[in-house]
Amino acid sequence: MPTTLVTGASRGIGRAIALQLAAEGHDIAVHYSSHQRAAEEVAELVRAQGPRAVAIGADLSDPANTDALIDCAEGELGPISILVANAGIASDPTGVTGITDEAWDRMLAVNLTSPFRIARRLAPAMAEAGFGRIVMVSSIAAFTGGLVGAHYAASKSGLNGLARSLAKEMAGRGVTVNVVAPALIETDMVPVGVRDALAQHTPVGRLGRSEEVADIVAAVIRNGYMTGQSVLLDGGRHFT
């Protein structure tokens, strides 16, 4: 069974990805930042399907935690051959003048720099083994600017450039690197009023579901030919 690290896997999209990949036979390192109980529940659900799982807490805004997370995951489950960099933070919507230096730095640290650090650590071993998959979960905001603010959009746009550069470097070595960029997904983290308002502006008439994002991520992982791509999953909003 491949060992897969899913960051931000305690809730929402990350949870769905972890469970989808477990159903396909992956051992799962379930990363969480603060929701330990939810992460442990995900790990239990993974183990109920047969694969192994471990829940590991780490604040990815701190560079020191990157290596500790990987060391713990590989100590429990063996070498990581698949990374799904899903962990991310957002904020209340704000204009650029409302973004402090501290808010900017933390947004990029979690959303962009931590995927870079984890990929930097894992990619060489993947290439040496001749197999690896890296999927970075971005956002429609990378293409549109989004609703949260410039710091969020910049962090998600940066994943596109990071993935393309790394994909080019790893091409021919058995390692693919891609981005999956969903629009707002219906989870318990999104207020009902916000869901309803945005659904009215989505051509398919509803928001996406976490399981639909997980399905695309799993398909990207299974495909050894696609690399350096950004898959936009937005219910047709790019038409408008």
DSSP string, the chain: --EEEESS-SSHHHHHHHHHHHHTT-EEEEEESS-HHHHHHHHHHHHHTSS-EEEEE--TTSTHHHHHHHHHHHHHH----EEEE------S---GGG--HHHHHHHHIIIIIHHHHHHHHHHHHHHHHT-EEEEEE--THHHH--SS-HHHHHHHHHHHHHHHHHHHHHTTTTEEEEEEEE--EE-TTS-HHHHHHHHTTSTTSS-EEHHHHHHHHHHHHH-SS--S-EEEESTTGGG-
Answer whether 0.85 is exceeded by the pTM. Answer: yes
Q: Given 12, 113, 142, 152, which residue is catalytic? A: 152
Q: Is 32 a catalytic residue?
A: no
pLDDT tens per residue, range 27-75: 999 999 999 999 999 999 999 999 999 999 999 999 999 999 999 999 9
State mean pLDDT over 194-198. 55
- List, for residues 95-133, the tens digit of each pLDDT value: 999 999 999 999 999 999 999 999 999 999 999 999 999
Q: What is the model's pLDDT at position 140?
A: 92
